[in-house]
Amino acid sequence: MRTGFWAGVQLGMWGLCGLFLAGCEEKQASKGDGYPLGDGYPLKVCVVSGEPLGSMGEPAAIVYEGKTVKFCCSGCEGDFRKDPLTYLAKITNAKP
């Protein structure tokens, strides 16, 4: 029953591939202008609006005092800059 075995192995590899690709897509979606996006950023939502990142198109991101901050859209960056400490706390508290 070697055929069955290999079919199982191939199915398993396809499954792994799917997981891998899904992870890649997530990272690609958060790629920005040379910022280290997607590297341990704890939030999947905009710190300002709470909307899922990417729900408004390409997520916006900045580096504020060495910390990456992501927004659902560039409009939220303006709100962040009005009260950065509040929003930074949200990111800090979200870390495990």
Binding site for Zn ion (CB under 5 A): 49, 72-73, 76
Cβ distance to Zn ion smaller for residue 10 or 55? 55
Q: Are 35 and 68 in contact (CB under 8 A)?
A: yes
Cβ distance to Zn ion smaller for residue 35 or 74? 74
State phi, psi for 49 to the nearest 5 degrees. Answer: -95, -20
The secondary structure of residue 59, as a DSSP letter, is P
Min. distance of Cβ 79 from Zn ion in angstroms? 8
Min. distance of Cβ 69 from Zn ion in angstroms? 12
Q: How far apart are CA 60 and CA 80, in angstroms?
A: 12
Cβ distance to Zn ion smaller for residue 15 or 50? 50
Min. distance of Cβ 62 from Zn ion in angstroms? 13
Q: How far apart are CA 48 and CA 65, in angstroms?
A: 17
